[in-house]
Amino acid sequence: MATFTEQARRQQIMERTIELISTRGYPGTSLSAIAEAAGISKAAVLYHFGSKEKLAEATLAHVFEQFGSYLTEHVERAADPLAAVLAYVRAMVAYSGENRRHIRLITEVLLDDKGGTKLKAPGSHDAGDRWRTLAELLATGQRAGVLREFDTKTVSLAVGGAIDGVISQWLADPDLDLAAAADELEVFVLNGVRKPGPAPA
């Protein structure tokens, strides 16, 4: 088991990795640059992580863990299944707005299904099986009778794609009003998943 000092050093290296990859991109970030930013030798970085790919994998996993904890915290506060779906959507946007460097890292590096790393491909909004979390929330809403019947995987991927489209535009244009975008995404999701009420008399 890693000592407290080793854990602190690993954390420091990962923070510098986030900082550099989010500004220089994955291909433009070298182990030497990360080591220099952390104030240690390249050999020390290799001691803790073994390679650039393993460092990127560990850093991405660290970011996903923080992202996941944020989502869980906000979803669990929701009063009902429909509110939980909307809380998920808003939390996805809010976390992105509060953690721009993390989102830049995710757009640069993505875990592949073999445990390695690769550059993110367009449309890879199901990173880390993210769609499963939303699909489970949607299924819960269906069982509660507040959401219409639909394929939860397809809809969760569609909602994830809509969220990613907004975030991608915000990364390119920081002046985009994320709060207003979250409002529109909420309406979009409500219109797509909510069970229709009785027709007016």
Q: What pLDDT was estimated at residue 127?
A: 52
What are the pLDDT digits (tens) for 94-145? 999 999 999 999 988 874 444 444 544 433 445 556 789 999 999 999 999 9
Average pLDDT value over all residues in the chain: 88
pLDDT tier, 155 (very low <50, low <70, confident <90, very high otherwise)? very high
| Residues 139 and 152 sit within 8 Å (Cβ to Cβ) | yes
CA distance 165 to 137: 21
- Choose between 54 and 200: higher pLDDT: 54
pTM: 0.84
Does 162 or 199 have the greater pLDDT score? Answer: 162
Contact 94, 181 (CB under 8 A): no
CB 135 within 8 A of CB 153: yes
Mean pLDDT of 143-158: 96
For the cut 50, the answer to whether the pLDDT of residue 86 exceeds it is yes
Q: What is the pLDDT of residue 196?
A: 84
Above 70 in pLDDT, residue 49?
A: yes
Interacting residues of 23 by C-beta distance below 8 A, sequence separation 6+: 104
Confidence of residue 198 (pLDDT cuts 50, 70, 90): low
> What's the confidence (pLDDT) of residue 118?
52
Q: Which residues contact 189 (CB under 8 A, 6 or more apart)?
A: 85, 86, 89, 159, 162
Mean local confidence (pLDDT), 165-173: 93
Residue 131 is predicted with a pLDDT of: 85
Residue 199: per-residue pLDDT: 44
What structural domains and CATH numbers belong to the chain? Answer: 52-193 (1.10.357.10)
Question: How high is the pLDDT of residue 4?
Answer: 82
